[in-house]
A and B are shown apart, each in its own frame.
Chain A
Amino acid sequence: MAVAKKFSVWICYLLVLLLLPQFFDTVLAISIFNQMAIAIVFALSYNMLLGQGGMLSFGHAVYYGLGGFLAVHALLLIEDEIVHFSIIWIPLVGGVFGLLAGIFIGSFSTRKAGTVFAMISLGIGELIAASSLIFVGFFGGEAGVSGDRTFGPPLFGVEFFQDIEIYYVAAAWVFIATVFMYLFTQTPAGRMANAVRDNPERAEFIGYSARYVRFISFCAAGFFAGIAGGLFALNYEFITEENLNAITSGRVLLMAYIGGLGYFIGPIIGAVVLTLMNSLLSNYTELWMLYLGIMFVLTVMFLPRGFAGFIMMHQVAWIQGKLKNLLVPYLKTGVPGLLFSAAAVAMIEMSHHEGEAFEYLGFTLNSHSPVAWIITAGIAGVSVYLIRRSIPQLQEAWEEANTINDADGDQP
């Protein structure tokens, strides 16, 4: 019983991973789940650098992409019957190559953290992205390299023609990778990574070389990014230069940041949210990147600890059973907030569509109609007024909910 309780979070995580396709079984859903699986491993590996090790990398896609390229080449080798193993091990091939790349690049880039590390990571990222168009034999030029996952030996009769079969392979890898990345945080190397992030100077005076501590985290992050790249290769059966360029590096930074760097679960939330936005929102609007950017800016400004940090902020209120007291104030601010967002989006979309009528939340909008502008602007204005009026109440309710009742003087 105690064991079940101790591992309850992990059991839930495994169940969610296994049962998701039972509830959403469309082709689109499975495709999104596969993307999420890849993104979760990638974002968690990124957080080993930034959140846990204090290394701001602008080139983490290098290890993801290189792992992915080697994974596709491994698929080709299987296809040519040069090697013979089940394709479920492909992510491990990616991981090992990510690790090797991490060892090589980390050996000189982890000397310093901060700006120096960030600049080196950016430089290496550009360098590898440029080489991918130069060394066409390995990277396949602009078209990339493609393989076929169905040539491998079948596993229990499964030949991996369908995405759902890949999903279960990916889910298993996501679970294993998450467990190991979590366990890493509980080891001397993982904990010293936090110490070096907090204070590299002091770490050196308790016997640890800050550089070597960073190097270990860096290699581990490279390994898991390579696994994510291998999952990508397995899912899409092709890989291009886009998978290791700065845009992919930037996207993983966004995922980890929006999710919350300070929490192990943060990057998982970020990966899920951004994958959903990426695949669902892009069906509705061409401007989804704009909304993503706005969301990032708002997160940095108002939720510096990310979505996970926002959830954890409610711990005190939750423990005291005062969470329900926050419900009404949240609604009073949240509903006008949603209305404002809806109106703002309507105005942005009207400016974008210039004269064309389009469907929006069940209404037909046209930028040439003054009525549409007046109504949306009106809604936005009223919402702002309501938000401003309700915020003091929200602050009051928040403080009340976070006041610790029993004065046991535990505060320092």
Chain B
Amino acid sequence: MSILSLKNVWKKFGETEIIRGVSLDVERGEKHAIIGPNGAGKSTLFHLISGKHTVSSGEITFNNQAIHNLPPYEINRLGLARSFQVTNIFPRLNVFENVRCALLWSNNYRYSFWHLLGRQHKLNEEAMHVLEQIGLHDKAKFPAAELAYAQQRALELGIAIASGAEVIMLDEPVAGMSHSEAENAVSLIRKITEGKTLIMVEHDMNIVFDVADRISVLVYGEIIATDIPKQIRGNARVQEAYLGEVPADA
């Protein structure tokens, strides 16, 4: 049974159709990559699923519940967390606070103004545990804005995974990283999404073919193929869309 399902989803900005009738089923526990040329609408698709944008028509269900009319915070509370293509952290909070804030809702603190955070030992340990996972435990007290780029990307991931959501959506998690940084990031992504459902937009084909169980190819707002990596590589329409950009040796 699929955990996330899109049925004939459309998104128009004025006259411009960005997403044109996308239907997609993501299975529980799979690593699903979405690829496609620039401007294909990959990020828009992410924004539609996560509630940043509303759909023009169509339906999105998460665990059989319709979510396409919900605001982002309610979608997140259901167990769908995401990261952003452009680093999107809390710059003036320190690294520890960034992660701890991301843990608050799932730990049922809600809008409490009667709990003192310093005394919530289980919460604080959990936040330190996430920092250890993303390798930032020695930077806990640093203002997030002062971290190096790759570290900010790691923190971005940490905020997304902290709540323990079932579905993790990563929008170009290794964009702008050097080769070795990207390698570290990929092993980190593998580690932290173990046993979870991962939906990922990524340009680096090596990483996509390495990590993904299935790949969907989005071109001009339409999914032209969804299949296992081997089949995608051999798909003629995909090769055409990429003008041979999908290298045979990838």
Chain A residues in the interface with B (C-beta under 8 A):
183-184, 186-192, 194-195, 197-199, 201-209, 212-213, 216, 220, 262, 412
Complex interface: chain B residues within 8 A of A190 (CB) = 113
Contact call A194/B113, Cβ cutoff below 8 A = no
Residues in B89-141 with C-beta less than 8 Å from chain A: 89-93, 97-98, 100-102, 104-106, 109-118, 139
Secondary structure call for the B interface: loop
B142 at the interface (CB under 8 A from A): yes
Partner of B139 from A183, A188, A201, A412 at Cβ < 8 Å: A412
Residues in B31-57 with C-beta less than 8 Å from chain A: 50-52
Complex interface: chain B residues within 8 A of A213 (CB) = 111
**Chain A: minimal CB distance from B73 (Å):** 5
**Chain A: minimal CB distance from B43 (Å):** 14
Chain B residues in the interface with A (C-beta under 8 A):
50-52, 71-73, 76-77, 81-82, 84, 88-93, 97-98, 100-102, 104-106, 109-118, 139, 142, 146-148, 151, 159, 162-163
Q: How far is the CA of A204 from the CA of B77 in the complex (A)?
A: 10
Contact call A199/B91, Cβ cutoff below 8 A = yes
Known A-B contacts A198-B90, A199-B91, A202-B89; the reply to A186 vs B50 at CB < 8 A is no
- Closest chain A residue, CB of each to CB of B88: A202
Contact call B100/A205, Cβ cutoff below 8 A = no
Compute the total of residue contacts between A and B using a CB distance below 8 Å: 107
Q: How far is the CA of A190 from the CA of B117 in the complex (A)?
A: 10
Contact call B117/A207, Cβ cutoff below 8 A = no
Known A-B contacts A207-B104, A412-B147; the reply to A199 vs B113 at CB < 8 A is no
Query: What are the 6 closest A-B residue pairs judged by CB atoms, nearest first?
Result: A207-B105, A189-B113, A198-B90, A188-B109, A204-B72, A206-B102
Interface centre among B84, B93, B113, B139 (most CB of A within 10 A): B113
Complex interface: chain B residues within 8 A of A187 (CB) = 112-117
Known A-B contacts A188-B110, A195-B101; the reply to A204 vs B89 at CB < 8 A is no
Contact call A208/B105, Cβ cutoff below 8 A = yes
- Closest chain A residue, CB of each to CB of B119: A186
Contact call B104/A188, Cβ cutoff below 8 A = yes
A sample of 23 cross-chain residue pairs with beta-carbon separation below 8 angstroms, ordered by A number, consists of: A187-B117, A188-B104, A188-B109, A190-B113, A194-B90, A195-B90, A195-B93, A195-B97, A195-B98, A202-B84, A204-B72, A204-B73, A205-B82, A206-B159, A206-B162, A207-B104, A207-B106, A207-B163, A208-B73, A208-B111, A209-B73, A262-B92, A412-B147
Q: How far is the CA of A204 from the CA of B84 in the complex (A)?
A: 13
Secondary structure call for the A interface: helix
Complex interface: chain B residues within 8 A of A412 (CB) = 139, 142, 146-148, 151
Complex interface: chain A residues within 8 A of B91 (CB) = 198-199
Complex interface: chain B residues within 8 A of A209 (CB) = 71, 73
Q: How far is the CA of A203 from the CA of B76 in the complex (A)?
A: 10
Partner of B81 from A192, A197, A198, A205 at Cβ < 8 Å: A205
Interface centre among A187, A188, A198 (most CB of B within 10 A): A188
Contact call A198/B88, Cβ cutoff below 8 A = no
Complex interface: chain B residues within 8 A of A184 (CB) = 113
Q: How far is the CA of A207 from the CA of B72 in the complex (A)?
A: 7
Q: How far is the CA of A212 from the CA of B163 in the complex (A)?
A: 20
Q: How far is the CA of A359 from the CA of B101 in the complex (A)?
A: 59
Contact call A207/B76, Cβ cutoff below 8 A = yes
Complex interface: chain A residues within 8 A of B163 (CB) = 206-207
Known A-B contacts A206-B76, A207-B104, A209-B73; the reply to A192 vs B111 at CB < 8 A is yes
In addition to A186-B116, A188-B104, 5 A-B residue pairs with Cβ atoms within 8 Å of each other are A184-B113, A187-B117, A188-B115, A194-B97, A206-B162
Q: How far is the CA of A183 from the CA of B111 in the complex (A)?
A: 14
- Closest chain B residue, CB of each to CB of A220: B113
Complex interface: chain A residues within 8 A of B114 (CB) = 187
- Closest chain A residue, CB of each to CB of B118: A186
Complex interface: chain B residues within 8 A of A202 (CB) = 84, 88-90, 159
Partner of B88 from A183, A186, A197, A199 at Cβ < 8 Å: A199
**Chain B: minimal CB distance from A214 (Å):** 11
Q: How far is the CA of A226 from the CA of B113 in the complex (A)?
A: 19
Q: How far is the CA of A198 from the CA of B102 in the complex (A)?
A: 14
**Chain A: minimal CB distance from B129 (Å):** 17
Complex interface: chain A residues within 8 A of B101 (CB) = 191-192, 195, 203, 206
**Chain B: minimal CB distance from A258 (Å):** 20
Interface centre among B50, B51, B101, B116 (most CB of A within 10 A): B101
Contact call B50/A205, Cβ cutoff below 8 A = yes
Complex interface: chain A residues within 8 A of B159 (CB) = 202, 206
Complex interface: chain A residues within 8 A of B77 (CB) = 207
